[in-house]
């Protein structure tokens, strides 16, 4: 479990360094959401969302950087997408929450956590937190090949977000598809998120504990498309 945490933090920490961040941007960059909308809903496109979902759920590492970008942001344009929908199985989550702070789980606890992670991912395949729990259980069960496969998938989702900006200004805000991704992305990057503030017209500003005396005290996330899709489905709440 420690090796996975270190690997994820190291990978994302590098994305905050200028040169590494530019390398990621060369590959992906800010998402073209209109192009992703068209492709993810076109049955003839190689980026058709159901096709990418099937590839993502497979136990392999065949998806490309672009596949991950179209898959993650294609989530916006699915009929069942709702950024503020309730957590699946909230009672079970409340029951399991004390276990998440333990360094080692028993076999029975690992089964409970994996079952919950799998059911959560069936509801939301890009749930960063439950992807992390899935990896942890695989590692503690000695299923290192599966852990590496799903770490690969998690790392690439995080890099998709990292490539969407640098988070230091509204103009270069990161783009996420769920509000909880803001906290999970930062925390998995080794940055402790403290609280969120909404800033007009469509930004979440997350206050953090600075990593160094010269590090930013907060980061911006662009939730324009998130809000747009929410109001399409909930017009009365405008």
CA 221 to chain CA centroid, Å, is: 13
Using the predicted structure, report yes or no on whether residue 33 has a pLDDT greater than 60. Answer: yes
pLDDT digits (tens, 9 = 90+) for 198-222: 999 999 999 999 989 999 999 999 9
Tokens standing for residue 43: 């049955």
Q: What pLDDT is attached to residue 102? A: 84
Q: What pLDDT is attached to residue 28? A: 87
Task: Name which of 179, 214, 213 is nearest 193 in CA terms.
Answer: 179
pLDDT digits (tens, 9 = 90+) for 141-168: 999 999 999 999 999 999 999 999 999 9
Determine the Cα–Cα distance for residues 172 and 99; give it in Å rounded to an integer: 37
Pairing relationship of beta strands 174-175 and 218-222 according to DSSP bridges = parallel
Please state which of the ranges 2-16, 80-94, 97-111 shows the lowest mean pLDDT.
2-16
Between the alpha carbon of residue 160 and those of residues 69, 111, 154, 166, 209, the distances in Å are 6, 30, 10, 12, 23
pLDDT digits (tens, 9 = 90+) for 114-124: 999 999 999 99
Strands, DSSP E only, in the chain?
A: 174-175, 192-199, 203-209, 218-222
Q: What pLDDT is attached to residue 101? A: 83
pLDDT band at 194 (very low <50, low <70, confident <90, very high): very high
The pTM of the full predicted model, rounded to 2 decimals, is 0.89
Burial class (CB in 10 A: 0-12, 13-18, 19+), 93: middle
Q: What pLDDT is attached to residue 24? A: 46
């Amino acid at each position: 479990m420690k090796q996975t945490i270190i690997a994820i933090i190291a990978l994302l920490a590098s994305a905050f360094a200028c040169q590494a961040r530019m390398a990621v941007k060369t590959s992906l960059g800010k998402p073209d959401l209109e192009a992703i909308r068209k492709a993810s809903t076109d049955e003839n496109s190689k980026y058709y969302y159901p096709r990418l979902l099937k590839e993502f759920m497979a136990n392999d590492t065949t998806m490309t950087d672009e596949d991950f970008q179209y898959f993650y942001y294609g989530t916006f344009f699915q009929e069942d997408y709702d950024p503020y929908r309730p957590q699946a199985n909230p009672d079970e989550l409340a029951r399991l929450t004390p276990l998440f702070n333990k360094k080692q789980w028993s076999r029975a606890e690992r089964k409970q956590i994996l079952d919950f992670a799998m059911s959560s991912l069936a509801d939301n395949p890009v749930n960063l937190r439950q992807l992390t729990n899935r990896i942890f259980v695989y590692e503690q069960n000695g299923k290192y090949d599966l852990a590496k496969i799903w770490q690969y998938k998690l790392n690439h989702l995080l890099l998709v977000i990292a490539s969407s900006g640098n988070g230091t200004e509204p103009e270069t805000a990161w783009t996420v598809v769920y509000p909880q991704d803001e906290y999970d992305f930062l925390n998995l990057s080794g940055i402790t998120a403290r609280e969120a503030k909404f800033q007009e017209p469509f930004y979440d500003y997350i206050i953090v504990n600075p990593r160094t005396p010269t590090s930013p005290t907060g980061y911006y996330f662009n939730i324009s498309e998130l809000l747009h899709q929410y109001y399409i489905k909930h017009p009365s709440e405008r």
